[in-house]
Amino acid sequence: MAEELTEYKGPATMEKITSLAKRRGFVFQSSEIYGGQNGAWDYGPMGIELKNRIAANWWKAMTQLHDEIVGLDAAILMHPRTWEASGHVENFTDPLVDCKKCKTRFRADMIPDENLANKTCPECGGELTDTRKFNLMFRTHIGPTEDNAGLIYLRPETAQGIYVNYKNIIQSNRMKIPFGIAQIGKAFRNEIVTKNFIFRTCEFEQMEMQYFVKPGTDVEWFNEWKKRRWAYYEKLGVKMDHLRWHQHGPDELAHYAKDAYDIQYLFPMGWRELEGVHNRTNYDLTRHTEYSGKDLQYIDQDNNNDRYIPFIIETSAGLTRTLLMLICDAYDEEKVADKGDADDWRTVLRFHPVVAPVTAAILPLMKKDGLAELAQDIRNELKEDFATDYDQAGAIGRRYRRQDEAGTPFCVTVDYQSKEDGTVTLRYRDSMEQIRVPRAELTEKIRQEIKQYKRKS
Ligand code: ATP
């Protein structure tokens, strides 16, 4: 086995990623004109395309490619008892300390032990407060009065919406164990420390799948889902030496979990969690049985109507965190000329074409002589099948660079020869290779290229 990387050695830095994301319309600070809102970000025209495609790709992998997994879109606002049953009211806390001098707030588990022991601030050396528990759930009120009767939480995870619907889904869709329920949606956590751009935010999106299995088969399914989730990233063309498993030790393991592994990614700031694969046992459904008074046992009609509370294997990935991972993973700087100026280098996002915000950009070599009209016409044809962009401004080399930086895998250039023989130039983002393709074959050619795409560097 290759030796594990200890630190990030690629060309990306979080500053470069943040600035590119803003410059090219991927991610903006929330409410920027008011000075920004901590922990919240807005996804611009390129960002929402990327996010939608990541979500669609995950959705396809989980539902379309698995006969026994169905989808759900549960409400963000849930009955408050849900969060008592799940243990979040009691346990979903982070340990918090404040510096009395510089007022900086820290998660106690994220500062060096010696600072915690002698109560000194790692920033300014000032005195730290005692550690106290801080619940991460956002609370609000439903209805016209702000009293406890109307207390309601913004969901801190999408999973509970699945558990409370599991019986509905068995009944409406005649599901048989083992089966899964997938969901993508917003989650909210009042995170104490939000840094590293969109890595840890207060409002984010999750892609979760809960797999219901017979007790005793849980370990086998847990291992199977670890394999499937690893293969998912491989298929997406992620640099596999930037991924690793991290098993939760006894101090990290959630109160409900029997075993838990994180898939970590080597971000520019180091190895960090990307996704969790958890064996949640029968904890959640047992608790919901207790708190709701409803019988949530599964009745196994193929086995003498055996009754049991299923075990749950969960795969839980952050959608917005995956987006950050994919930008970091795709980011590259490449020397493409030797003229001694800034144009020698190009910045390129090597996204897999299935997630790239724009699949094909159509570029007329010149605006005049009918080339722009011909290019528009080709774009109109391609747009039925692909996300396209059209750009006629500036030198062709500059336009290629702009598309490279946005991660567009294919450029279609329309030139004088196109008018004569009906062919266009297809330029590949990664290799910068150019080939001529008859216009009539373009859609099929691009479709094939997407299917066969293999990342080279
Ligand atoms: P951490 O220990 O980093 O706070 P966690 O272990 O509590 O995270 P989970 O509850 O397992 O995270 O959430 C599943 C996934 O949801 C994470 O792997 C991550 O991708 C995503 N996620 C969790 N919290 C956030 C957040 N504050 N911002 C963005 N994504 C998040």
Residue 9 Cα to ligand 1 middle (Å): 25
Residue 129 Cα to ligand 1 middle (Å): 26
Residue 216 Cα to ligand 1 middle (Å): 28
Cα 74 from Cα 82, distance rounded (Å): 13
15 phi and psi, to 5 degrees? Answer: -65, -45
Is 90 exceeded by the pLDDT of residue 56? yes
**Region 120-131 average pLDDT:** 94
Position 2 scores a pLDDT of 67
From 202, 210, 316, 324, the mutation candidate for ligand 1 (largest count of ligand atoms within 8 A of CB) is 316
Percent of the chain with pLDDT over 90: 91
The pTM score is: 0.95
Position 341 scores a pLDDT of 85
Position 342 scores a pLDDT of 81
Sheet holding 434-438, edge to edge: 388-390, 360-364, 410-414, 423-428, 434-438
Position 304 scores a pLDDT of 95
Position 216 scores a pLDDT of 97
In the 8-state DSSP scheme, what is residue 4?
A: P
| CA-to-CA dists, residue 200 to 72, 194, 219, 322, angstroms | 25, 5, 30, 11
Pairing relationship of beta strands 298-300 and 243-247 according to DSSP bridges? unpaired
Position 241 scores a pLDDT of 96
**Region 122-134 average pLDDT:** 93
* Predicted confidence band of residue 406 (pLDDT cuts 50, 70, 90): very high
Residue nearest to atom 2 of ligand 1 (CA): 273
- pLDDT single digits (tens) 194-238: 889 999 999 999 999 999 999 999 999 999 999 999 999 999 999
273 C-beta closer than 6 A to ligand 1? yes
Q: Which residues contact 31 (CB under 8 A, 6 or more apart)?
A: 37, 40
Position 457 scores a pLDDT of 62
Rounded to whole angstroms, the maximal C-alpha distance in the chain is: 79
Q: Which two tokens stand for residue 382?
A: 């391609």
Is 80 exceeded by the pLDDT of residue 1? no
Average pLDDT, the chain: 95
